[in-house]
Amino acid sequence: MTLSRRALLAAPLAAGTTALLPQGLLAAVAAKSSPLPALDDWTQVRRQFRLTADYRHFAGFFIVSHPTPVRDSIDAFRAALDENPFFTVERGMFESEEHNLQMAVCKDIAAYLGGKPGEIALTPNTTTSLALVYLGLPLKAGDEVLVTTHDHYAQHESIRLATERSGASVRRITLFDDAASATVDGILTRIRAGIRPATRVLGLTWVHSASGIRLPVREIAKVVAEANRERSDADRVLLVVDGVHGIGAVDETIAEMGADYFCAGTHKWMFAPRGTGIVWAPAANWARLRPTIPSFSSLEVYQAWEQGRAPSGPNSADRVSPGGFLAYEHQWAMGAAFRMHQAMGRARVAARVAELNTRIKQGLKKMPKVKQHTPMDAALSAGICCFEVEGMKPADVVKALLARKIIASTSPYAVTYARLSAGLMNTPEEVDEALAAVRALG
């Protein structure tokens, strides 16, 4: 993106509109936003959320309350849009790459992921991210997509839609018989045995919302690399990861994890605005995809349309980012969430999430009428704790906890469990309150 569409930016600026240019807009947003507070104290972090004190919130992983830095950023962008929507969108979306607001967001995201801004497509959520990847892959009859029985509806359905259109097949494998007793070696053994000559894609979920288990993606990526060693580039297995419950909860340099495509909504553990998400992939893997939705983020695609020709060069992340008008104040405010996480420190955040959820698991383990389904091993879990209470349906467990002002959830799968999930908005004392409420059910 080097020039505005229709060369609008070549026109003289009206008096008083200079502040609406992206560089001026970013400065104005920063001026209207509160300075990022010192986030080295968990009490101060908790104060960033407007969660009602009437309840103890243990379902923050479902959809997050916007913290103060994100709210401020949304409000400031919204004010600019309301004051002058045409100039704000036209200049924020279609000026030079240096001042493009989507690119500014991608820079903040890349700093957290450990990748490059041009490797990131911006999406509304995990579901869209997965669909853009699976429907964009050049699958054909005879190809196979390998996925697990443990994945969410969004991944399974994206694969179904993609394979129905392409004529490729899909096969599901089970990685473990019991999540709580699963081992890294056992998971790797089943994946290694599951990959066949026809397999072209392996779809996995980093942290399962069904059981709370966290898959060893780096080790799995090595198994995939082994399978690809004797394959041509056209026949290699591509690793697609649904990472929504790992990003923001686990200390991992995602761009170095080994995934070929990493898909995630960012309105959960990352605290980004509701309705935001990403796909990360290296340039070589973006080149494999075919865009599904027209993009407003690629100047080359727009110019090709103007000139009546096909876009030149390989496909890229910006060509996959869905176009159409969006809730721009939410998309542009994504950067505030990633900067907040950078300020808190990825390793420190992950340690806090592990500390709180280990406390949950240890407490549940002591209850004779409770069965845990999330591994105790911190290396195989993250921020979701799944369990059953003897003699009670999971939905009834959640209702009973709600009556005690504890917000829990159930896993939306054919086999469902009750879930408690502690995040940065929780305290050890709140964890103990939740455990006491579960104990009272027995």
pLDDT tens digits, one per residue of 317-369: 999 999 999 999 999 999 999 999 999 999 999 999 999 999 999 999 999 99
The number of helix segments (H) and strand segments (E) in the chain equals 17, 13
Of the pLDDT bands very low, low, confident and very high (cuts 50, 70, 90), residue 76 is very high
Q: Which of 316, 248, 254 is nearest to 284 (CA)?
A: 316
pLDDT tens per residue, range 128-157: 999 999 999 999 999 999 999 999 999 999
Q: How many CB atoms lie within 10 A of CB 9?
A: 15
Contacts of 237 (CB under 8 A, 6+ apart): 146, 195, 199, 200, 201, 202, 224, 227, 228, 231
Task: Give dist(CA 389, CA 396) in Å, integer.
Answer: 10
pLDDT tens per residue, range 251-284: 999 999 999 999 999 999 999 999 999 999 999 9
Task: Give dist(CA 135, CA 291) in Å, integer.
Answer: 8
- Dmax (CA) for the chain in angstroms is 74
Task: Give dist(CA 318, CA 105) in Å, integer.
Answer: 13
pLDDT tens per residue, range 51-62: 999 999 999 999
The token pair at 364 is 């549940």
Q: What is the CATH number of domain 346-441?
A: 3.90.1150.10
With tokens 């996480």, the residue in question is 341
* Residue 257 C-beta-side C-alpha neighbours within 13 Å: 27
Question: Sign of dihedral through CA atoms 387, 388, 389, 390?
Answer: negative
Q: Are 419 and 386 in contact (CB under 8 A)?
A: yes
Contacts of 427 (CB under 8 A, 6+ apart): 42, 46
The average pLDDT across 205-231 equals 98
- Domain definitions of the chain by residue range: 117-343, 346-441
pLDDT score of 164: 98
252 secondary structure, DSSP code: -
pLDDT tens per residue, range 384-409: 999 999 999 999 999 999 999 999 99
The token pair at 57 is 């919130």
Task: Give dist(CA 8, CA 432) in Å, integer.
Answer: 59
Task: Give dist(CA 203, CA 368) in Å, integer.
Answer: 36
Strand segments, DSSP code E, in 94-185 are 120-123, 144-148, 169-173
Burial class of residue 228, CB neighbours in 10 A (0-12, 13-18, 19+): middle
Examine domains 117-343 and 346-441 and report if their fold is the same: no
The token pair at 304 is 């090709």
pLDDT tens per residue, range 158-197: 999 999 999 999 999 999 999 999 999 999 999 999 999 9
Task: Give dist(CA 409, CA 326) in Å, integer.
Answer: 30
Q: Which CATH class is domain 117-343?
A: alpha beta
With tokens 């455990």, the residue in question is 435
Of the pLDDT bands very low, low, confident and very high (cuts 50, 70, 90), residue 43 is very high
Q: Is 280 helix (H, G, I), strand (E, B) or coil?
A: strand
> Does 92 or 31 have the greater pLDDT score?
92
**Residue-by-residue DSSP string for 235-247:** GPPEEEEE-TTTT
Would you tell me the crossing angle of helices 334-344 and 101-113 to the nearest 10 degrees? 30
